[in-house]
Amino acid sequence: MNIILFGPPGAGKGTQADNIIRIFNLHKISTGDLLRNEVNNKTDLGIKIKSIIEEGSLVSDDIINNLIIKILSDKKFYNRLIFDGYPRNLDQAINFDLLLKNYKQKMSCVLNLKVDKELVIKRILGRQTCTKCGFIFNEFFRPATSQNHACGNKFLVKRVDDNEKTILHRYKTYLDRTLPILDYYKKLNLLHEINGKAEIGDIFKEISTIIASLEA
Ligand code: ADP
């Protein structure tokens, strides 16, 4: 079973993916995280894509396709993947189908987290990530406390692209390039609509029921 978590930036894809992999035997693949690692480690690829990520545009399909091929060809991930932030445009989606066929895997469902623009902007401006455990918190909606986070506040950082100017560009990129993919998956009968405005726990329950029914 492979799953796509779909939605605008700040929809809660990363948060839900983290919850899902704690319960189900699935691996999270966030293309954003993979690219940010390259930037942080100052690899050749990271140096090339740094400014693209910081302005909130999409990196080239070739780069993304190579990352995805590495994942799909890795036996430890075979058919147990949850994708966060991929595919991001129609060409990536069409190519993804070909790659899945090549690696004898299939897409089980696409979960669309629906959230409006005002809410995602607020969520993104409050987002904090722990550099130690990778967990995502939110200053406004889910602050890190001594009860929910053992690493301590000194590890909490904001992403460089989580600022007011870049988020508007990322949202526009989402509307122009990413949203059109939904129709593609609707036609393939893979789409599930989820209310992304609900409580984190309630969204997770809804998603868990869908995944459990696919596992059955
Ligand atoms: P968000 O969904 O919150 O905008 P991500 O962490 O998914 O953030 O992505 C951060 C950035 O990484 C994007 O703005 C883009 O530059 C790049 N990126 C991530 N995934 C892709 C992809 N599949 N195709 C092209 N660029 C991507």
Closest CA to 6 of 78, 98, 113: 113
Question: How far, in Å, from the CA of 32 to the mean position of ligand 1?
Answer: 4
Question: How far, in Å, from the CA of 31 to the mean position of ligand 1?
Answer: 6
Q: Which two tokens stand for residue 191?
A: 């789409």
Average pLDDT, the chain: 95
Nearest CA residue ID for atom 16, ligand 1:
53
Mean pLDDT of 117-142: 93
Q: Note the pLDDT tens digit of each residue in 90-110.
A: 999 999 999 999 999 999 999
Q: Give the H/E segment covering residue 153.
A: none
Mean pLDDT of 128-136: 91
Ligand 1 atom at minimal distance to the Cα of residue 124: 3
Give residue for tokens 């839900």. 16
Ligand 1 atom at minimal distance to the Cα of residue 31: 20
Q: Which two tokens stand for residue 97?
A: 């189908």
Look at residue 216 and tell me whether its pLDDT is greater than 90.
no
Contact 100, 93 (CB under 8 A): no
Q: Note the pLDDT tens digit of each residue in 177-206.
A: 999 999 999 999 999 999 999 999 999 999
Question: How far, in Å, from the CA of 119 to the mean position of ligand 1?
Answer: 19
Q: Note the pLDDT tens digit of each residue in 38-69.
A: 999 999 999 999 999 999 999 999 999 999 99
Look at residue 12 and tell me whether its pLDDT is greater than 90.
yes
Nearest CA residue ID for atom 2, ligand 1:
9
Helix (H, G, I), strand (E, B) or coil at 3: strand
Contact 18, 7 (CB under 8 A): no
Look at residue 207 and tell me whether its pLDDT is greater than 90.
yes
User: What pLDDT is stored for residue 9 in this prediction?
Assistant: 96
Phi, psi dihedrals of residue 179, rounded to the nearest 5°? -55, -40
Look at residue 85 and tell me whether its pLDDT is greater than 90.
yes
pLDDT confidence band for 135 (50 / 70 / 90): confident
Look at residue 134 and tell me whether its pLDDT is greater than 90.
no
Report the pocket of ligand 1 as residue ranges, CB < 6 Å. Answer: 9-10, 31-32, 35, 52-53, 56-59, 64, 85-86, 88, 92, 161, 170
Q: Starting at the edge strand that comes first in sequence, how are the strands of the sheet with 107-114 ordered?
A: 27-30, 81-84, 2-6, 107-114, 191-195
Contact 89, 61 (CB under 8 A): yes
Peptide bond into 8 cis (omega under 30): no
Of 5, 6, 29, 31, the one to substitute when testing ligand 1's pocket (max ligand atoms within 8 A of C-beta) is 31
Q: What share of the chain has pLDDT > 70, as a percent? A: 100
Question: How far, in Å, from the CA of 88 to the mean position of ligand 1?
Answer: 8
Look at residue 26 and tell me whether its pLDDT is greater than 90.
yes
Q: Do β-strands 127-130 and 156-157 pair in parallel, antiparallel, or remain unpaired?
A: antiparallel
Nearby residues of 71 by Cβ (< 8 Å), 6 or more positions away: 29, 77, 81
Question: How far, in Å, from the CA of 146 to the mean position of ligand 1?
Answer: 31
Rounded to whole angstroms, the Cα distance separating 79 from 24 reads: 13
Q: Report CA-CA distances (Å) from 216 to 107, 109, 199, 211, 212.
A: 16, 14, 26, 9, 6
User: What pLDDT is stored for residue 22 in this prediction?
Assistant: 93
Task: Lowest mean pLDDT of 159-168, 173-182, 202-211, name the range.
Answer: 159-168
Contact 16, 114 (CB under 8 A): no
pLDDT confidence band for 215 (50 / 70 / 90): confident
Rounded to whole angstroms, the Cα distance separating 55 from 62 reads: 19
Question: How far, in Å, from the CA of 36 to the mean position of ligand 1?
Answer: 9
